[in-house]
Structure 1
Amino acid sequence: MVSAPRCPGRSVAAAGGRQVKLGAYVTFQGGTWQVAAVAGASVTLVGEDGQTASVLASFLFADPEFTVVGSPATGVQPWGLLESVPERERERALAWQRHIREIETGLPDGPGSVGTPRPEYDPQRTSMAEREQAKADELARLGWPKASRATVRRMRARYHGQGLWGLIRRRKPSSATGQADERVVAAVLEALRRQRGRSKGTLKGLRELTGRILADAHGPGTVRVPPPSTFNRLARVLADPLEHPGRPARTATAPVRPFTPTVALRPGELVQVDTTRLDVMAVGEDGKPVRPELTIALEVATRSVVAAVLREEGTKAVDAALLLAEMAVPHVVRPGWPEQLRLAHAAVPYDRLLALDARLEQAAARPVVVPETIVIDRGAIFVSAAFLAACETLGVSVQPAPPRSPTAKGSVERTFGSINTLFAQHVAGYTGPHVLARGQAVQDETRFTVAQLQELLDEWITACWQHRPHDGLRHPLLPKKALAPNEMWGALLGASGYVPLPLGGGDYLELLPVRFHPVTGRGIRINHRTYDHTLLNEHRGRPCPAGPGGKWEVHLNPHDVRQIYLRLPDGHLHEIPWIHRDHVHAPMSETTWRHLRTTLNQRADREKHEAALAEAADQVLRRARPTTAAQPAPSRTTPGTHTAKAAPQPAGDQSAVSRYGGEAEDSLGALEARAQAEAQDMGADEPGAPPLPGSDALTLYDADQEAELW
């Protein structure tokens, strides 16, 4: 649109409010021209080569390449964007507009408005500098921040350059990560990448992993991990919602009862016991992945895990009975544990305790309590005769929880959640808290046996849980400070004291399940296993004078059937070994034995059958133990010679019968004959032929040599 010039013959207004004055340079039809004359609607231009041209102003402004050299190209103001601006900022911009109009024209509404200018803003009596200073003083009196003449001049320049939109305060566009350190962002992305495909853990576990990545990349303490709240926001921004979905909604199956916190004032006053599945896959005794069961005893007064037992399947009553003995005697420091995990370094009166119980010299930094009352659910293992008899022997009162009332054991239930988030999610084979959080290759990550997982759990409880501040532990003299379980135990010892319980190895044996068997001329026969020793010589074929039906009292540990314990007439329990115990170098449970019996068919007489079972049990347990694979020795082959390679056998994919055969000729002679036949097929009998690779595996098993390697 062409507007009439305010001074005909001198200038003409272009689109967007730009003034084309005499002498100005413009760009028109690909060249640079100077405005020589403006007469009405006609503009005379002079080119760089001296050529002149007279064009209509509307035609000049409509040219796509028309610009005024040295003048900013302002377009139509984005009035629609003002609606997206906060109301407070919009009102501020409109207020600045009225102030700037009053400075330039004397009236707040600009030229054409009705009214009389105030004396300090009258253009006829004051200069522009005086009006700017007067406006700065006025704004300062009104309480506007940073109201100075320089601010007023800057706002005038922004208004002339961008209009009302220039008076809007626009903050710099912030990125999704804000002002987070780029090194921290890179570490969070790396932690998320490592978690891809694995079971989903907690944000706290992700923060610990990020801290380890930063320490490995930049050195310990060089880059600090953001606080938990800042880190959680950063992780949610960087995480892919498709790979890290939220937790599913939980539905309530029972009305929520009022929660009453459990209070205990002295160590051992109240102990809560419960069992659950651990969120970790472990290698079972048969080489297959399993989820072990975790049974813990939580001392309520100090929130200490005084006992923890992992079992592959089906926690039995004997495990609950042994749990009592474990919490009542000191925990011995395992070989390889650091010196800081000893009780001597804990926040307890160690010297006074050592004077009462000498066993504490080799004890780990975990409380030892004699429980007064144990709170149990109505599980079969806790209401069994074995567990109740063990509690009666130790003088422990048993208190069953009300049915369908998980809040009655709220402390131990919450401890299970803490173990899963603080310990389990950092262990290989973590399954996640629910199905949607489970990784794609959990079974492939499994690398620890149940026994190894038990060692890790015991060390973690001693090193981490017992020294970690607990929000539920507050001392009356320090109400604002959360204490660790060991600190709370040390504080309560002064009020309740320490009562040692002289429970020895014989007491453990008394807590084992009892059964009765006759002593025959070949020993004691239990589930196709024969137990024999020279101690039985004078009792073979004789009835027990005190046993029911003339049978002898036998104590058997279902988690280690390599020996039994027989009560002889002297009143003591004596160890009677399995006749094939030297062939099984790791504890074997009754479950594994039943699995082997159903796998192997009885092919010969009883002695050979037991020998085959013992050898198969040893091989299964060897596969279950993860060991570091040895580097294969370089094979020496000659041209034209074939090398036999053994097919890989993944753990858990083949049963014992597939490895040792199901026919009667699976003996040492059959193996040697088979090896010779394979060697002939491979050309190993030819003169100068190299030895068959892997032939050392067919030699006799030397138990003494194996023991020396151990």
Structure 2
Amino acid sequence: MLRVGDQVHFEAAVHRVVGLEGTLVRLADQDGSVAVVHLPHLLTSAGFEHLGSAPPAPVPHTSRLAGLPAVVVERAEWWEGHLLEVLTGLPPAAAPGTLPRLEYDPASRPLGERERAKAAELAALGVPGASTRNLQRKLRRYRDQGISGLVDGRRDRPSPPISARADPRVVEAIEAVMTESIAQSSRSVAYFRWRVERLLDERHGPETVPMPSRSAFYRLFSELGSGRHITGSARTRRSLAGRPDGPFGQVTAVRPGEIMEIDSTPFDVLVMLDEGVPGRVELTGMVDLATRSVTAAVLRPTTKSVDASLLLARTLTPEPMRPGWPDALRMARSVLPHRHLLEVDQRLEHSAARPVIVPESIVCDRGNAFLSRNFRASCRALGISLQPAHPGTPTDKPHVERTLESVSTMFCQFVAGHLGNSPEARGTRIEEGPLWSMAQLQELLDEWIVAKWQNRPHEGLRDPAAPGRMFTPNEKYATLVAIAGYVPVALSGDDFVELLPTQWRKIGARGIKINHRIYDCAELNLLRHQSSGVREQDGRWEIHHDPYDVTRVWVRQRSGWITVPWRHLSTVPGPFGELAWDHVRREMPEGTEAELAAAVAALLDRAHAGPPTKKTSPDRARRTVARTRAGTRPTIPLDLEPDMPAASSPVDPPEEDAPLAKVIPLDLFDPLEDPWSKR
């Protein structure tokens, strides 16, 4: 059988078959000259001989040589040179034009003779194992594996795992103990050795299964527990145990709002609660998968169903600019297509640079706040599909999990009152430092999301055509909204109020009292001291309020809602109006990246410093104490001696017949002393 690549002896020279077509054969000699002959003429020519197929060049497996000693690699390369001479007639370092030695010339010697000649040559050199059979085995391995096939197998042979040599009953017991430790606290290997020994006695009887030695058990335990954090972090161990088997699935969202994820986590900052005591709060956030935008994030002492509904309402409404925010945070100054979006949604006129994304489906965990009737009803009313994750499977919503962790890393550590992500990372006397209130911290978080997160290049937003470039959430939204479009949800004012938390209150002469704030207006005159008619609530009225906006509440009546303002609203600084925004616009130039960076830096500095506190200068404090003590010092001696001269008294002595008044001494008043310390 004649094939392309075979070598033939034709007209006293060795040729290689480089082409076959019908009865025509194309031959090429060693000088590169090409000739075309008829197949019958080739086969009947004098001296024709089929020399066989040329040995294919083996694919080098150089990666398998990594880590081997240099002596072993040099020995393999030495064998490769001799084998190439057997196969091709020339060693690898032969100069161009060199003729093969006669005993290794493929044109005149078949392969078997060349193998025997090489074995004899190596035996004469004193090479151990230089037999023809050994040489043939090396040739087969070289053809199959390349140079790595010439390495001593004892050097390249992987060592079998320790568990394959251990008692299967011991391995089974270790696996069972590791499985039961997933939900437990972390322990040392010594505990697991004791637990495995007890488990073997329970399953197979006392001292039936011999335990490995201490060192052997530690090696076996290390091999079986590799990558499972059995003795490490309990949180990491539970997370690894919750991973699905096999490769991770991938869900791709091609438009904003197609898939969104919601979750809650403890916030790593200590805040000052309304009662004046420090405490922790929870962060509930919603993340869009397509753009990685944080559409809303709220802080609450405990996440409830009304808070989840409120988060949904904030997602569907634009983020308003706040007094004091840099003008560079306006949507009109960002990469978002503000002018085109404004044509279909007038609410965006004075909004911040945070996109409004309408959810199509929301993935949540199985917490009570997200599976409550209130949140389900809100999603159903807005046409949103709610998809609960599998129990104990945080990988069903990994994006919001990682985003909330990034908020702790990138924001919380800069805020006064930072607690750290674990007790071992927590400082001392955190509660004694300056602490933000929950409402103040909420405003700082909203500003940070607009200024930092939405303008930060995200690892998950790389361009498929140019993986070296990363998009920011705002850039990705601007790209996708041009393709998918934007249709605002017709969320009316009444709809927004319906999603707010509800409280039931009486309407008295002073109005409505909620969280120690009094709300009142003239429209409540007809409702004061009246019953709402709801017997289940003892005649109280339904009040809806926004926990993040204390300026007003809403009272439900038969004809609709009554907006009731806060009675002290006029005394609160920082008015919100068009004049303030026009003034800021005139003062600020066109927005640049430098302005955004400066805004983020100023925000972090302000968050780290904590809320301002009233301080009294030392001189003024000492002066106040001195004046107070001087005013309480008695001007009449308490015990007058009979023989004391009258001149020593600062006042005229009393008449002898007049009775002396009883003098009651007063304690010294210290204005810097805690008034509650003696209670």
**TM-score normalized with structure 1 length:** 0.46
**TM-score normalized with structure 2 length:** 0.48
